[in-house]
Structure 1
């Protein structure tokens, strides 16, 4: 029976006040020591961690008696309707009141969990996924990420993933724990592949955030935290690698609270740490749990070791006090000094987790097969089923054409990039081009009327395509079903393109393997073949029902570009173009364009590794050898002040001519927003309304190429106040050209400047190399934010311009004897130094001159 759901009915001791923990550095009486020097928020004392030696194992209790039995279901509670409350850094976090009862749902739906596993790179995420698959019976043997057998982890199916020891693509599988059905998506930890995390979290109901017990909260951990908040995903935190030297789970819990600004408390206390780790104690049930057998598959439960009782009671009191801050039921009991039972603690943890005001913390070591089964228990007990989560869609106007849906920006970008790739050669994959044509033929603006989806099989189908792959049998489209049932052979409608298609084949994924299924009900995740679509497309019943669209994905802008050409002229045809078209279709952050000056193909992405992987995949999967240019930073341009424009476009060459006038101003977008905004403040009829779309289109085109360096313009507001028109010679082309030239007129007078991408960099290295590492960063124009020493290692946080980070990996390895590592993510764009702007302008002018000579 599950440790988190097995309620023995024992009441907690009456809490008159918060037990005061010892203030000494250690206590020989109970064998405890402080594991955190960081002050806890709101005056909370750090938790104690037991370091008692492992007791001998007098008996081994086989897990087979309980493995596969369902933990009793925790009370099903719904998330608060739409308050989207997140705890704040200051003050007590908002409490989650008891949720109202939900309508009766299918029992199978209540047993379903859709979860993702996310982490900073090298936190043990894929190792954890491998153990989850083993303990749930999905695989028969455990293989390591960099194992000596050369097999590799199950969820790393690509050859490149196994060679490099990193996850590149998210992988989906399903498993059964007790009577719960769990869909699992394992996501990459490297920031270059952040779109994989974005689209996974977009369709998941809950997540497991894995943190390293030594490194704690790292840069990509913060990114994942922001992504989970963006998509309102409840999470459980698993502190992994307790077996490593220097592990400090109490410090990591404090980092959770201070860096994520969320209430957190450990549900477990480790029995030993580092090399002495041999089990965990469940602080709710007050039981010691040991993981025996060759692979930790045998669970043994015993009484808490005597020397750990005080630490367990302190951790339990801290859990209850934390819950009292975020849960109304426990808060009232705590204030009334009433006893709080195990059932009430479990129910409160579930309510607060689903409300996203609290994250329960589990402990263990996936590599040492410790704590994984109890994590699975917590997934079932605390993370929501599909009926617990509120998902909304936009009801589209009945009069609207079906060529457009709401929230399809990411899909349009992917399709547009595919078109650019196809333009490289005469023969290419035309599917993405057709999708882009559909977007271009957009209907008038749609009335956005949000409504809540019901995870009910009898309701009309609503589903979202969130990931594309090209497989042996054609394009594989991953689908989350939110409402209704998706059936093999059913006719479905792509809301964005208006195309009706029959579902030829429906499969359940297990990494790279697949099993055919007849149907996928509401709340399920599956994949289908034969769909012409883009990431973010909404599918509904083709036979009728409401025309709706789901919110699409957040797609970050690329930060780095490079030129790529086939090494041999014979490779410059269909294979090269097909590879680019496929990759840009699958990955919205991978962009392809043709440089109008040099006629080179330019690929853009999230980092050097991101683009390197696609270059290698092109060589392996398509046999195309390519020549790659030096990486180039994606700068941006903007304006610093306001300027007005008054431009009249005239062209007369016999017959109908062109005439259009625009009057207005150009200014920085308020609040430092990087979006480009078009504002219509026309009064009167000097500009006929049918020409407004052409004026806005001209503004958008002008923003694509800045006048200083040719980079895209961001953060400007184009306000149209007046204009001129001619009854015969005015047309869309004339107003588009007038808008472009008016923009350039004001841009020259508005104090344009160049912005460079600045990265948040985190470097970890042995302390002996600290001076050299900081010196190297300073030479790269870094701003050092913090330097933290933990044991023999130091972690340095800095902000560094991306242009200064090229070649840093080689420098760091040579300067730390191969022991240093770093990660970075985009922080923001900031004004570049004048010397750099001047160099960029000179290079841009030379490029234009070279283009004119060709």
Structure 2
């Protein structure tokens, strides 16, 4: 016989089941909490009952729009917002009408026609909620793409129909793979001269190593672009009206019937290779329906082994609505992504050793809260913190804990962002992206429920090293110093790739970043937002030092000045590490000539010596230090002595180990009309560039080269003059390589050291 609790539970279950399409946890969170408690007390697991989160999450997508610079991301986002009813009028990126694209809210973005900071918004399409983050394309702002992809469930990779897969496309692809983000591909700008979508799809497969196939065929190309053909439904789609808002579906034009049939066959064959279910049907020669194809695309896309390719032109209002349909059909909802947090656990064999263990997060809104702060922004109301809620519910007024600082804070205000506009909300459920005011935190901090006895923390972001530096100082020392400090503190908090330090010898403030444009933007923002006009020194390249062979050291540190002195002797060697980047300290001691208690001090000395190399004063990388023996004194040996012995022993061996200077090498991709290709290759060679690849197609060509960063200063001006303003380039950090002639750098460092001693 059933208990009263079981009877009530069954009735509640039936009620929820019959109203799943109506009842939402956002509207009735208290009911669902009670329902969960009732199920537990009745001995029935919550996951065995109808999950009211499921309906909500099935109709939600969190996506990012990523691409190489000038591929049309922001233009595409503007059309998406228009067709979903979020904006009433379309504006162009460069803001010629004085308004500019909705997602480029910063004046600098509208003036330069580029996206500098990622912007979040949300829209509704066919009953589904889509949270969108528009990201920059320029490599200097790659951290914006990095942190957006860290919290998103799916992405749109936008490729130019003319240029295809470019350098930043490769970077974005690596970022998507790093965070396991499934993507759909949209080939944009098919209205441009020289566009060729089939060449672009070949590049996706060859350069990105990803199986891809078209689900659209364009009706015409370049100036003749009229619409697209849906390969799966086999119908032509035209985009009528002043802004392409009216879709007209007709039979496939006769001249395209053969091409569409061939592309459909290729699509099914490709899917049969990557999807077992469709592959079985294909091999058994069973009839394959449209639904079979859609389901196979979704399965393969979620497994990140395939990307469906859609086509159009955002500027000409073609193919955007079909892209929106593809987002809903093929990209995952938040419940379909596996997200993990780190849990601190005590090892069974030791109560003193604590390890971090991965724990799979649930998408239930009733579980304990786990949310990640992935972006910070200064607003007129204070710090605005962008959050992704992975598990549980974040409510206004709730007590939450920052797992890094262990501080409890109360959520003062929650908002949902629409570019620079805000909409007040009372709560954010699992899977949501929101923002909150009034909390001091850092990018990458995790917020959990204050009541959670085992707080979890999310893995942090990957932050690349800076490659360029500038010496800056306010022109008006007294009036501008306060605002100068405020600006630096804000920008370093908001952007992990923007770093600030004080040069100990020159006493100059040094700002470091990802490139020339990155630092120029911050200098300009200080003037506009903080009224601080800066004196800017010449750009400085972040060189490194390294060793190229093994060398021994045998150093004794002695100091006697009455009473207890200092004594420490160390023997060992240094050698290059395998990857040429990492640094490593290794204990090779046998016996007790050096007590183990001094090892931390020895390692500290080694890492201190790495901070300033002996050749040019730059940081040392790619070296391993192995300590094999040493001597101590019963009275004079201490941690300071061994730290100093480690520093000097390292420096002794460093010069014997064929020390060298490393310079940053950039991968440079130049897009130009083919007539200028030879001139550009010659210009890059003069800048010590190594031409890696060059290609030409139709009217445009590209040149890929590896060029030292120092030689790229002022290249944008030279490129404009050589190509009559028709060329554009992008560059990204590749690696540090040995500088063939470091004499000038070494002599400058010696002069600087000598001047400091005077």
TM-score, normalised via structure 1 length: 0.80
SS state at 1:841 partner: helix
Hey, what does 1:335 align to over in structure 2? 283
Hey, what does 1:226 align to over in structure 2? 174
> How far apart, CA to CA, are the structure 1 residues paired with 2:618 and 2:332?
45
CA offsets 1:163-216 (integer angstroms, 9 cap, x no match) = 111000000111111221111100000011011111111111110010000111
The structure 2 residue matched to 1:559, chosen from 453, 467, 476, is 467
Change over 3 Å in CA distance of 1:526–1:692 after alignment to 2: farther
> How far apart, CA to CA, are the structure 1 residues paired with 2:483 and 2:226?
54
Change over 3 Å in CA distance of 1:536–1:352 after alignment to 2: same
> How far apart, CA to CA, are the structure 2 residues paired with 1:805 and 1:591?
21
SS state at 2:279 partner: helix
Is 1:260 the counterpart of 2:165 in the alignment?
A: no
**RMSD over aligned Cα atoms:** 1.9
Is 1:207 the counterpart of 2:155 in the alignment?
A: yes
Hey, what does 1:520 align to over in structure 2? 428
Kept after mapping to 2: 8 A contact 1:571/1:625: no
Q: Note the 1:442-841 alignment, pairs <5 A.
A: 446-571=354-479, 573-670=481-578, 672-725=579-632, 729-834=636-741, 837-841=742-746
State the shift of 1:656 in Å.
4.7
> How far apart, CA to CA, are the structure 2 residues paired with 1:665 and 1:147?
61
Q: Could you say which structure has the greater relative contact order, defined with CA pairs below 8 angstroms and 6 or more residues apart? A: 1
> How far apart, CA to CA, are the structure 2 residues paired with 1:653 and 1:467?
54
State the shift of 1:106 in Å.
2.5
CA offsets 1:292-335 (integer angstroms, 9 cap, x no match) = 11111111112212222111111110100111111111111122
> How far apart, CA to CA, are the structure 2 residues paired with 1:381 and 1:725?
71
State the shift of 1:705 in Å.
1.2
Kept after mapping to 1: 8 A contact 2:498/2:513: yes
State the shift of 1:733 in Å.
3.3
The structure 2 residue matched to 1:146, chosen from 86, 90, 94, is 94
Kept after mapping to 2: 8 A contact 1:589/1:605: yes
Larger displacement relative to structure 2 (137-146 or 786-795): 786-795
CA offsets 1:14-46 (integer angstroms, 9 cap, x no match) = xxxxxxxxxxxxxxxxxxxxxxxxxxxxxxxxx
State the shift of 1:340 in Å.
1.3
Kept after mapping to 1: 8 A contact 2:346/2:355: no
The structure 1 residue matched to 2:186, chosen from 238, 243, 246, is 238
Change over 3 Å in CA distance of 1:364–1:664 after alignment to 2: same
> How far apart, CA to CA, are the structure 1 residues paired with 2:90 and 2:233?
30
State the shift of 1:686 in Å.
4.4
Q: Note the 1:98-137 alignment, pairs <5 A.
A: 105-137=53-85
Is 1:392 the counterpart of 2:300 in the alignment?
A: no
State the shift of 1:512 in Å.
0.7
> How far apart, CA to CA, are the structure 1 residues paired with 2:304 and 2:729?
30
> How far apart, CA to CA, are the structure 2 residues paired with 1:741 and 1:489?
56
SS state at 1:396 partner: strand
SS state at 2:297 partner: helix
Q: Note the 1:267-286 alignment, pairs <5 A.
A: 267-286=215-234
SS state at 2:453 partner: coil
SS state at 2:747 partner: helix
Is 1:360 the counterpart of 2:265 in the alignment?
A: no
SS state at 2:345 partner: coil
**Count of residue correspondences:** 707
State the shift of 1:726 in Å.
5.1
Is 1:847 the counterpart of 2:739 in the alignment?
A: no
SS state at 2:688 partner: coil
> How far apart, CA to CA, are the structure 2 residues paired with 1:447 and 1:351?
35
CA offsets 1:799-831 (integer angstroms, 9 cap, x no match) = 111111111111111111111111111111111
> How far apart, CA to CA, are the structure 1 residues paired with 2:204 and 2:731?
20
Hey, what does 1:181 align to over in structure 2? 129
State the shift of 1:383 in Å.
0.6
State the shift of 1:731 in Å.
4.1
Kept after mapping to 1: 8 A contact 2:95/2:110: no
Kept after mapping to 2: 8 A contact 1:398/1:547: no
State the shift of 1:684 in Å.
4.3
State the shift of 1:476 in Å.
1.0
SS state at 1:640 partner: coil
State the shift of 1:460 in Å.
1.6
CA offsets 1:528-583 (integer angstroms, 9 cap, x no match) = 11222211112222222323222111111111111111112224532111111111
Query: Is there any run of 5+ residues in structure 2 with no aligned partner, and where?
Result: 1-20, 22-47
Hey, what does 1:322 align to over in structure 2? 270
State the shift of 1:658 in Å.
3.8
Hey, what does 1:404 align to over in structure 2? none
> How far apart, CA to CA, are the structure 2 residues paired with 1:214 and 1:337?
38
> How far apart, CA to CA, are the structure 2 residues paired with 1:727 and 1:479?
56
Change over 3 Å in CA distance of 1:451–1:819 after alignment to 2: same
Change over 3 Å in CA distance of 1:107–1:735 after alignment to 2: farther
State the shift of 1:148 in Å.
2.9
Hey, what does 1:29 align to over in structure 2? none
The structure 2 residue matched to 1:190, chosen from 126, 138, 142, is 138
> How far apart, CA to CA, are the structure 2 residues paired with 1:127 and 1:293?
18
> How far apart, CA to CA, are the structure 1 residues paired with 2:144 and 2:59?
26
SS state at 2:685 partner: helix
Kept after mapping to 1: 8 A contact 2:346/2:354: no
SS state at 1:447 partner: strand
State the shift of 1:501 in Å.
1.3
Query: Is there any run of 5+ residues in structure 1 with no aligned partner, and where?
Result: 1-69, 71-100, 400-443
State the shift of 1:239 in Å.
0.2
> How far apart, CA to CA, are the structure 2 residues paired with 1:480 and 1:691?
45
> How far apart, CA to CA, are the structure 1 residues paired with 2:377 and 2:302?
32
State the shift of 1:692 in Å.
3.3
Larger displacement relative to structure 2 (523-532 or 688-697): 688-697
Change over 3 Å in CA distance of 1:551–1:724 after alignment to 2: farther
> How far apart, CA to CA, are the structure 1 residues paired with 2:712 and 2:50?
54
TM-score, normalised via structure 2 length: 0.90
Hey, what does 2:3 align to over in structure 1? none
> How far apart, CA to CA, are the structure 2 residues paired with 1:445 and 1:555?
28
> How far apart, CA to CA, are the structure 2 residues paired with 1:659 and 1:796?
59
> How far apart, CA to CA, are the structure 2 residues paired with 1:196 and 1:361?
25
Kept after mapping to 2: 8 A contact 1:113/1:182: yes
Kept after mapping to 2: 8 A contact 1:460/1:545: no
Kept after mapping to 2: 8 A contact 1:783/1:799: yes
The structure 2 residue matched to 1:381, chosen from 318, 329, 336, is 329
SS state at 2:614 partner: coil
> How far apart, CA to CA, are the structure 1 residues paired with 2:411 and 2:642?
45
> How far apart, CA to CA, are the structure 1 residues paired with 2:111 and 2:544?
36
State the shift of 1:773 in Å.
1.4
State the shift of 1:757 in Å.
1.0
> How far apart, CA to CA, are the structure 1 residues paired with 2:276 and 2:396?
46
Change over 3 Å in CA distance of 1:529–1:739 after alignment to 2: farther
